[in-house]
Structures are given as structure tokens and as C-alpha cells.
Amino acid sequence: MIGQILYALPFLWHGFLITLAVSGLVVVISLVVGVALGVGLVYGPLPLRLAVRIFSDTIRGIPILVLIFFVYYGLPAIGLQLDAFAAAVLALTLFKVAQVVEYVRGAIASIPAGQAEAAKAIGLTFAARLRYVIFPQATRRFLPPFVNGVTDAVKGSALVSLLGVTDLMHAINQVIGRTYDALPLYLLGAVIYFLVNYALSSLSRRLERRYAFIRE
């Protein structure tokens, strides 16, 4: 068993780096785009709010695997050909953006309306109210569920192996195809995913304890 693991380590390390790359890109892009769309959902004009709501509800209602296959196999039908890595990142990002939109909406909605009204009464502009009153409090409410949701991105990244992306799961399957010893390698893969997600979950719990005082 130890021999198989030692043999597999270089392949698994490369796959693990690909997993981190996919997960990192998904988290960073979805954070930027999701926050922007989430703010638009709350404060934007009606057409924008409707568009973001339809996007969020639709994407969250589609299984991630179906979304990955749609992006990789379906988009070429309209002339948009993506390689496996780009298609996987795009599909996972779309799903994560839809989640982040809801995190932002919920965080902003949880702030008492009286605070924004008080800020307006003392003469703060809309931009100033967002910067000094709304966003600081919303960020504290947003961070714990977002960090916890990052674990979904890590776990979801395992699905990209179905497109041939050489992530951790794909590397494990490649090594199993050479050694024909599945159990120790799948156990090792499970441990690696568990350790990464456990670290992220611990960070989420720490943030929840740190900001527990702001809960209503």
C-alpha cells in the first residue's frame, strides 16, 4: 500500500495543483462577479434586478454536472468552443456566482432598514451609505457562509475529471489504471479532500464565532 502511494505522489501532487487552480479561479471570479450582481439585485433598476433574479434562480436549479456538460458539449453548437479546463471553470463559476448573489442579497437584507434611513437623514449620499454603513455590516454577515461555500467549489472541482482535466480525481484514476489498486488511492484522495475542506470549514466556524455578536 505504501509503495503504491509513494509511486502515485508525483501524479497526485500535479493533480492537486490543478484542483487548487480550478477552485481558486472559481472562488475569485465568482466573488467579484457575484458581489457586483448581488448589489445590482438589491439596488439596481428593475430590468437588472429581474435579469439577475432569473439568472440566479435558473443556475441554482441546474445540477452542477449538467451545467458542466452543457458548457463543454452544448456551447460548441452555437460556435463557442472551449477547452476542458476553461469549460470546467466557466461552469463551476456560473454556479458559484448564483450562490454568491444570494449570499450578498441575504447579507444586505439582514441589516435593519433604519440604519440606512438614519445615514440618509444625516446627509450621506447613496455611495457613502453603501461604503460606511451597509457594506461593513453586510461583509460580516457575508463572510461565514461564503467561506463555508468555498468547500462546495473544492468538492465540485472533482467533477472536472469527467472532461479529462487532470485534477486530483483524474490523477487518482490514472494511477489506479496502472496499479490496479483502487482502495488505498481512493482513501488517500478522500483524506486530501477532507483535510482541505476541514480547514475551510474551521475557518468558517471561526468567522461565525468572531462575528456572532452582530446577529440580531
- Grid cell at residue 141: 454577515
Angle at 134 between CA 40 and CA 131, to 5 degrees: 85
> What pLDDT tens digit does each residue of the chain (216 aa) get?
566 667 677 888 888 999 999 999 999 999 999 999 999 999 999 999 999 999 999 999 999 999 999 999 998 888 888 899 999 999 999 999 999 999 999 988 888 878 878 887 888 888 888 888 888 888 888 888 888 788 888 888 888 888 888 888 888 888 888 777 788 888 888 888 899 888 888 877 777 677 654 444
Domains and CATH numbers, the chain: 2-214 (1.10.3720.10)
| pTM for this model (two decimals) | 0.84
Residue 34 class from Cβ within 10 Å (0-12 exposed, 13-18 middle, 19+ buried)?
buried
